[in-house]
Amino acid sequence: MSDEITEEELRAAEQRWEDEVGCYPFATEVRFDGNWRRIIVKLSTTLEIALDPLRYRGFESASDDALSNIEISGVGYELFFPMLDDGIWLPNTFRDSFPNLRTPAAVKQVAEQMLAA
């Protein structure tokens, strides 16, 4: 078995990325609230969400210092915690939280309906 990526696999991965980029909101600001012990994320839609670090594997025993050191990467889709060498991929969080929006097309359709209202 070869570890090389075929041209077809590369094109399929690029298409999945194109489908995903632009349909999920992305992080524009992020901070850790030590009082509530929540990761507060301001999204491109101006909505703010609070994430419970206990919901994410590898974050259960993270210190407040480790949770306070956050970088936004992945065109705003990843919250990266350098002290943990781990991150939270926001599209997965959205899909897990809203199972009826499992595909980028479904997310885009709901977002367009909300904007039209």
pLDDT digits (tens, 9 = 90+) for 43-100: 988 889 999 999 999 999 999 999 999 999 978 999 999 999 999 999 888 878 777 7
Positive or negative torsion for Cα 97, 103, 106, 111: positive
> Which range among 31-40, 41-50, 105-114 shows the weakest confidence by mean pLDDT?
105-114
CB 95 within 8 A of CB 107: no
From the list 55, 62, 53, the residue with the least C-alpha distance to 84 is 62
End-to-end CA distance of the chain: 52
pLDDT at 13 over 80: no
What is the reported pLDDT for 2?
A: 62
pTM exceeds 0.85:
no
